[in-house]
């Protein structure tokens, strides 16, 4: 049943992304699906309120946040900002004046399990913004497999809680490589891990070479479509943590 529900969810998102390659347009398309699904699920409970975990960083990067109405640059449009839910739903944003670290402090104060509090932030639009170009079921499968390898190895190496956020960018670039005894071409993927406190700024984590070597070996061995891995070394600014 859960697998069937996931398949339907994936199809709705993929259908909305047909022909879209621009990162911002992907976010806009995802917002529409997110809003529709959230309202539909809320209706099942007969609820009138929709509470979101929207943080001030989300609002600020989306170009909002100044009470005086002064214009602010839109860095990226977040999925959980300014959705304008349909009647009769009332949106609640209890963390809208908080950033990640203070939000976690509130969670600890109300005894939210620590494992939930230290989970890495995950992009609201999901892996679609970690995929260059057109999003397809095949690319989505590869992106999920790569993300699973990175996070699993990070946990097993005891590095997960030392990193703010980590991810894999699946590019459209192809490189010549060897698979077994034959020549082939494979995709270039970009690995990244950032340290931060509140999400407004970040620096690349200095993780052991042995860790990156293991992740590279697993990805190139276990994911046939991958030709090589690269590591991003740019922090925020000038990049953003979830770069796209």
DSSP state of 172: E
CB neighbours of 174 closer than 8 A, spacing ≥ 6?
Answer: 185, 186, 187, 188, 227
Q: CA 110, 112, 118 angle in degrees (round to 5)? A: 130
List pLDDT tens digits, range 62-74: 877 655 455 566 7
Q: Evaluate if residue 108 carries a pLDDT over 70.
A: yes
Q: Within its chain, how far is the Cα of 36 from the centroid?
A: 20
CA nearest to 218, candidates 119, 130, 151, 128: 151
Q: To the nearest whole number, what is the mean pLDDT of the chain?
A: 88
Q: Which residues, 6+ apart, have CB-to-CB distance to 71 below 8 Å? A: 63
Are the C-beta atoms of 243 and 192 separated by less than 8 Å?
yes
Mean of the pLDDT values across residues 206-226?
97
Q: Which fold has domain 119-244?
A: GMP Synthetase; Chain A, domain 3 (3.30.300)
As a dihedral over the C-alpha atoms of residue 25, residue 26, residue 30, residue 32, rounded to 10 degrees, the angle is: 20
Lowest mean pLDDT among 69-73, 109-113, 197-201: 69-73
Q: Where are the domains of the chain?
A: 1-98, 119-244
Helix (H), strand (E), coil (C) string for 83-125: CCCCCCCEEECCCCCCCHHHHHHHHHHCCCCHHHHCCCCCCCC
Measured over the CA atoms of residue 92, residue 96, residue 98 and residue 104, the dihedral's sign is: positive
Q: Is the pLDDT of residue 123 over 80?
A: no
What backbone torsions phi and psi does residue 130 show, to the nearest 5 degrees? Answer: -100, 10
Q: How confident is the model at residue 75 (pLDDT cuts 50, 70, 90)?
A: low
């Amino acid at each position: 049943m859960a697998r069937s529900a996931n398949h339907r969810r994936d199809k709705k998102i993929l259908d909305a992304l047909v022909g879209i390659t621009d990162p911002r347009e992907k976010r806009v398309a995802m917002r529409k699906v997110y809003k529709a699904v959230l309202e539909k699920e809320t209706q099942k409970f007969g609820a009138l309120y929709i509470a979101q975990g929207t943080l001030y960083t989300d609002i600020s990067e989306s170009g909002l946040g100044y009470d005086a109405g002064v214009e602010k640059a839109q860095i990226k449009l977040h999925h959980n900002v300014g959705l304008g839910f349909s009647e009769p739903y009332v949106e609640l944003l209890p963390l809208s004046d908080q950033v990640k670290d203070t939000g976690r402090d509130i969670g600890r104060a109300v005894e939210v399990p620590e494992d939930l509090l230290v989970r890495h932030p995950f992009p609201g639009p999901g892996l679609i913004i970690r995929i260059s170009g057109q999003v397809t079921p095949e690319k989505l499968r590869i992106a999920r497999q790569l993300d699973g390898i990175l996070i699993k190895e990070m946990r097993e190496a005891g590095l997960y809680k030392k990193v703010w956020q980590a991810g894999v960018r699946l590019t459209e670039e192809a490189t010549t490589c060897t698979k077994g005894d034959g020549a082939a071409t494979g995709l270039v993927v970009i690995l990244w891990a950032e340290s931060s406190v509140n999400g407004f700024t970040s620096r690349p984590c200095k993780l052991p070479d042995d860790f990156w070597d293991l992740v590279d070996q697993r990805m190139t061995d276990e994911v046939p479509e991958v030709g090589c891995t690269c590591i991003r070394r740019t922090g925020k600014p000038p990049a953003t943590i979830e770069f796209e």
